[in-house]
Structures are given as C-alpha cells and as structure tokens.
C-alpha cells in the first residue's frame, strides 16, 4: 500500500479488499445493460448500467453505485479510455457502476421533446440563454431534432454548464432504480476526468440545496404543484440534503473550463461547507505533469483547503488526498487508469464505504424530473 494511502489513520484502519465468495442466487445478468433516460429539458441520453454480482449479503438494493464522468468535448464519449476495466474491478468489489454519454456525445444526440428543450426558461432566458450557442438554435425558430457537440463549435465550453441537467437526469434514473430495489443511492461515488471535476463540484453545490426525499404538498406551499427546479425554496421545516448521499469522488487530472470561474467554484464550497466536510475526494495526476499538479492543487488547496494553515477556523480533511501517479509520466485524465490506479480507487472507496455501509437505502419518491437552474449557482452563458 502506498504511503499516501497509509498516512491517515482512517484509511490505514479501513482499507481492505472486499474479498468474499460471490453469492450463488439472485444474480444479475452478465454484462452491462444499456439505459435510455431523459433530462429535464427533453434530451434522451444513453448510458450503461453495470450491476455487481458481489453485493453484500446478496442484496443489490444495499450496494452503492459509482458514476463515471468523462470530460465533455469533441471526439469524446464513454467508450474512450479503460473505463470497462475499472467498472469490472468495482463490480467485483461490490459496487454497481453507471456510465453515460453527455448530451451531444456518443449516442446521446436525440432531442426527444423539442418544446421542452428549446422553450424551458431554465436554460433559455433571452440573452441569458445557453441554447443560443447551438448552431441553428435561437433566435431562429429551431427545427433540429438532434444535438451534436460539433453544433456548438467554438462555444462548446460556454455551453458546458447546461450539462448539469444531464446529471439531474442521471440522479433521477438512479433514484428510480433505488426505489425499485436495484441499488442504493444513499452512497453514490464519482470517478471523473479533466473538466468533469468542475461539473462535479457544481453538482454537489446543487445537491446540498435539494431534499433527499421528494417534498410533500405542505413543503411545496400553496399553489405550487410539484418540485420543479434546484434550488426551489421550500416551506414547512428543515429537510435532509441530497448532498449527504455522496460518499466521495476520485478526479483524474482535475481541470477547470473557462465557463466555470475560479471565484465561483470557491464560493460554492464557502457557501456549502458541507461539501468539504462530507464529500471526501482524491485528486490524482501524473508524476511529471506540472499543469495537472497545479490544477489539482487549485481544488485541493484553494477550493477545499484540505490542509488549512495553523490558526485557520477550518479543520484538516483526513479523507481528502492529492497524489501523483508514479510511472504515468505526463499522461492525463482517463489515460491515468490502469491496474495500479484502479486498485487505489477501489481501496479509497472501500475505506469510506466501511463507514457508510450502515446507511440503508431509503425511498426517494421523485415522480418528475427537476431542472438545475444554473444561473443561481453563478454560471452564465
């Protein structure tokens, strides 16, 4: 075991391989199953669900789920990189795995509900419109029934905050599976690469303003029919935040696109200190990648302040680490995956899950997709 993993008492005591005999009954079918699901603004996304055969006590309904996030961009999709090997290793150690293609990537190009896509006010507010960047979109009357990232051209980075609504679709799908007894969304983990780290931080900021369980009529208030967007104000008392459901994240060469300002990302964690206190993270970068180290340090030292200076009112984060990958030279992002890195990811999650394993699944009961109002989180077109 590497010294960086052994340094914390928590990890030293908790890291272990989940070595037990596979159960012999109620097994899921072999291989991942394709999943088509919707975003709140009418995009149909395509994903793959990899069920584990090694759920503790033969209960898939109590097994955590790991979500893969590759960096959005031209020529990127969920098949690029050795994600399949990591998924297999996680499955073997008791984790369900879900991966998907962002809108406009891979096979996720179908605008299923044109009215919702082009007409919703959460991504389309006159000059504050994200869809204005799509070639053939507003102010014209759009006729396109599909979206390719190439349609965004040089504005692909400016459009990136809209992908938070893809994550809303992912979370809604996982909660639906949770309520069917297929997995446990009380413990969700991320493995992401590159710019996906910025999306992950934005998503956590949003999840700490959303209820874990669908609010009832009294919480919604008079005349409000349903929970429609994040962060929708609620009445009727305190609720448990969905941010509690995230066990941790591993970021491979974490980076930040220009559409996610440094000050905005820092403010998310300043406003929601529960991110740093409850969502541990591991930042990995190649040993000779100076930029990768600097970008990881931005999140580790400046955003999370994982090791605050003496006299600070912040406490040190014992489960959050930043470390180089030996032998990786200057490889970045998904290319850091390999047997050694995969083993470290599994060990890191296992250490955290040792404590979270007692958190039982709970019904989420969301019946409708909800939007993420990205403007309220400081992201502008």
What pLDDT does residue 137 have? 80
- Give me the mean pLDDT over the 212-232 stretch: 93
Q: Is the separation of the CB atoms in 83 and 332 below 8 Å?
A: no
The span from the CA of 138 to the CA of 120, in Å, is: 12
> Tokens at residue 98, please?
């879900």
- Predicted local confidence at residue 2, as pLDDT: 41
Q: How far is CA 330 from the centre of its chain?
A: 25
Of 104, 99, 106, 108, the closest CA to residue 45 belongs to: 108
Instruction: Name the pLDDT band for 12 (thresholds 50, 70, 90).
Output: very low
Residue 84 pLDDT exceeds 70: yes
Per-residue pLDDT, averaged over 36-61, amounts to 95
Count CB-CB contacts under 10 A for residue 376. 15
Computed over every residue of the chain, the mean pLDDT equals 91
- Residue range 156-176: mean pLDDT, rounded: 98
Least confident among 12-26, 310-324, 345-359? 12-26
d(CA 359, CA 226): 28
Q: Is 229 exposed, middle or buried (0-12, 13-18, 19+ CB in 10 A)?
A: middle
The pLDDT tens digits of the residues spanning 257-315 come to 999 999 999 999 998 889 999 999 999 999 999 999 999 999 999 999 999 999 899 99
Among candidate residues 249, 340, 274, the one with its CA nearest the CA of residue 67: 249
The stretch 211-233 carries a mean pLDDT of 93
pLDDT band for position 223 (cuts 50, 70, 90): confident
Mean pLDDT of 92-112: 97
Closest CA to 268 of 128, 376, 156: 376
Q: How far apart are the first and last CA of the chain?
A: 45
Mean pLDDT of 311-334: 96
Tokens representing 355 are: 């404590």
pTM, entire model: 0.92
Q: Which residue has the higher pLDDT, 141 or 199?
A: 199
| List of domains in the chain | 3-377 (3.40.50.1820)
- What band does 158 get if pLDDT is binned at 50, 70 and 90? very high
Sequence-distant (6+) residues with CB within 8 A of 132 are 124, 138, 139, 381
Query: Residue 9: what pLDDT?
Result: 37
Instruction: State how far Cα 61 lies from the chain centre.
Output: 20
Is 13 exposed, middle or buried, given 0-12, 13-18 or 19+ CB atoms closer than 10 A? exposed
pLDDT score for 18: 27
What is the Cβ-side half-sphere exposure of residue 197, based on CA atoms within 13 angstroms?
30
């Amino acid at each position: 075991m590497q010294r960086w993993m052994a340094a914390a008492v928590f990890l030293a005591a908790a890291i272990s391989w989940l070595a037990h005999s596979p159960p012999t009954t109620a097994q899921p079918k072999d291989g991942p199953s394709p999943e088509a699901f919707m975003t709140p603004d009418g995009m149909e996304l395509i994903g793959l669900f990899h069920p584990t055969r090694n759920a503790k006590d033969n209960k898939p309904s109590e097994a955590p789920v790991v979500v893969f996030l590759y960096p959005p961009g031209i020529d990127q999709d969920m098949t690029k990189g050795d994600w399949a090997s990591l998924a297999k290793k996680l499955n073997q150690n008791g984790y369900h795995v879900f991966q998907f293609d962002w809108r406009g990537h891979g096979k996720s190009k179908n605008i299923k509900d044109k009215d919702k896509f082009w007409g919703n006010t959460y991504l389309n507010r006159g000059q504050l419109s994200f869809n204005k960047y799509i070639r053939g979109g507003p102010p014209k009357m759009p006729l396109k029934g599909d979206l390719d990232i190439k349609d965004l051209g040089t504005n692909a980075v400016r459009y990136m905050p809209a992908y938070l609504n893809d994550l809303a679709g992912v979370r809604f799908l996982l909660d639906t599976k949770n309520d069917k007894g297929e997995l446990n969304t009380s413990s969700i983990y991320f493995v992401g690469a590159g710019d996906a780290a910025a999306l992950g931080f934005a998503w956590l900021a949003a999840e700490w303003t959303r209820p874990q369980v669908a609010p009832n009529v009294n919480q919604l208030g008079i005349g409000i029919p349903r929970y429609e967007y994040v962060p929708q104000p609620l009445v009727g008392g305190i609720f448990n935040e969905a941010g509690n459901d995230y066990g941790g994240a591993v970021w491979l060469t974490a980076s930040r696109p220009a559409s996610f300002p440094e000050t905005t990302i820092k403010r998310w964690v300043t406003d929601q200190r529960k991110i740093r206190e409850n969502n541990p993270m591991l930042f990995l970068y190649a040993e000779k990648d100076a930029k990768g180290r600097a970008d990881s340090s931005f999140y580790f030292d400046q955003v999370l302040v994982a090791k605050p200076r003496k006299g600070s009112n912040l406490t040190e984060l014992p489960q959050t680490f930043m470390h180089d990958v030996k032998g990786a030279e200057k490889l970045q992002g998904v290319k850091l995956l390999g047997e050694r890195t995969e083993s470290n990811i599994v060990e890191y999650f296992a250490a955290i899950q040792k404590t979270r394993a007692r958190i039982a699944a709970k019904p989420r009961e969301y019946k409708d997709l909800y939007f993420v109002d990205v403007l309220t989180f400081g992201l502008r077109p």
